[in-house]
Amino acid sequence: MKIRTISKTKLKKKLRKKTNPNLINLISFLKKQSNFWMKIAELLARPKRKAINVNLNRIDKIAKPNSIVLVPGKVLSEGELTKSVILSAFSFSENALKKLSKTKIVKISDLARENKKGDNIIVIWK
């Protein structure tokens, strides 16, 4: 993942502009973890106009069977997810949740606690 790394101070300034308390708590938690999770915090701290939205068909195209997939943004419902994956994202659309009823969904914070270094995680952010 090639993301320009910003300092924790700049991330803290970006955090002041956020109004969602869940997002603020998640970013604050992630920036205290390893470099991998710091980069995920940076992606989550982006302005709303640069928010990450990923459709199910894109996840299905990129993910490998039985892999862990992380979307630092919102999962939308276009397409179908045919592979069995563990999916983690900040939020899901209602229709996407209906389509993902058989898929294992994990919170990003729980994933960070289980996998401190971020090994074997596929990050979909474009």
Cβ atoms of 105 and 88 within 8 Å: the answer is yes
Section 29-35 average pLDDT: 91
Res. 95 pLDDT band, cuts 50 70 90: very high
Global confidence as pTM: 0.89
Ranking 1-10, 39-48, 68-77, 96-105 by mean pLDDT, the lowest is: 1-10
In this predicted model, what pLDDT tens digit does every residue of 66-86 receive, in sequence order?
999 999 999 999 999 999 999
Asked whether residue 4 carries a pLDDT value surpassing 80, the answer given is no
Q: Which residue has the tokens 């939020």?
A: 91
Asked whether residue 126 carries a pLDDT value surpassing 90, the answer given is no
Q: DSSP assignment, residue 126?
A: -
Calpha distance 99→49 (Å, rounded): 26
What domains, with CATH codes, occur in the chain? Answer: 8-48 (no CATH), 50-123 (3.100.10.10)
Section 34-51 average pLDDT: 92
